[in-house]
């Protein structure tokens, strides 16, 4: 299931933390539809159970992890588990323990930077992403139940 679909340099993803909690964009069947189902919905959908996750930024930059668990609102939608991963290195792939960050709620681990503000979208940023940019062809996140 596709849960996040952002095209190159989209401006609709430069939203508040509250917007990311609710969800944004148009959820449709067209690959050009830009959306995020929302942190609350993603957490509810996953129901604390492990899922496989794939983060895809182009045909040559894809990573899949087999034990993805997302924390609750009280936990800052922390990535509680990632599991074993395969695929190409992906600078956008979040690390276990990362919490969701937006321009108005800086949770990226950099005391003097706000990566969400710099790149114009919310994400599970962490200090290893110091060279992040927003020039990907697209960012897509897919999840699949493990049971």
Q: Where are the domains of the chain?
A: 2-145
CA distance 96 to 118: 22
In this predicted structure, the answer to whether residue 30 has a pLDDT above a threshold of 90 is no
In this predicted structure, the answer to whether residue 32 has a pLDDT above a threshold of 90 is no
DSSP string, 112-147: T--HHHHHTS-B---GGGTT--S--SEEEEEEEE--
Task: Assign domain 2-145 to its CATH superfamily.
Answer: Gamma Fibrinogen, chain A, domain 1 (3.90.215.10)
DSSP letter at 101?
B
Q: Specify the 3-state DSSP secondary structure of 74.
A: helix
Q: What is the pTM of this model?
A: 0.89
- The pLDDT tens digits for 85-122 are 998 866 788 889 999 999 999 999 888 899 999 888 99
């Amino acid at each position: 299931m596709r849960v996040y679909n952002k095209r190159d340099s989209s401006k609709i993803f430069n939203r508040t933390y509250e917007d990311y909690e609710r969800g944004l964009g148009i959820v449709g069947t067209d690959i050009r539809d830009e959306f995020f189902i929302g942190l609350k919905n993603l957490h509810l959908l996953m129901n604390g159970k492990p899922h496989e996750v794939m983060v895809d930024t182009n045909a040559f930059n894809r990573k899949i992890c087999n034990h993805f668990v997302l924390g609750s609102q009280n936990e800052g939608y922390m990535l509680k588990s990632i599991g074993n991963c395969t695929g190409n290195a992906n600078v956008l792939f979040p690390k276990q323990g990362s919490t969701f960050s937006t321009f108005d709620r800086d949770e990226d681990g950099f005391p003097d930077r706000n990566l969400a503000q710099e790149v114009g979208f919310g994400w599970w940023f962490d200090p290893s992403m110091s060279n992040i940019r927003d020039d990907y062809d697209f960012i897509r996140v897919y999840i699949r139940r493990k049971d």
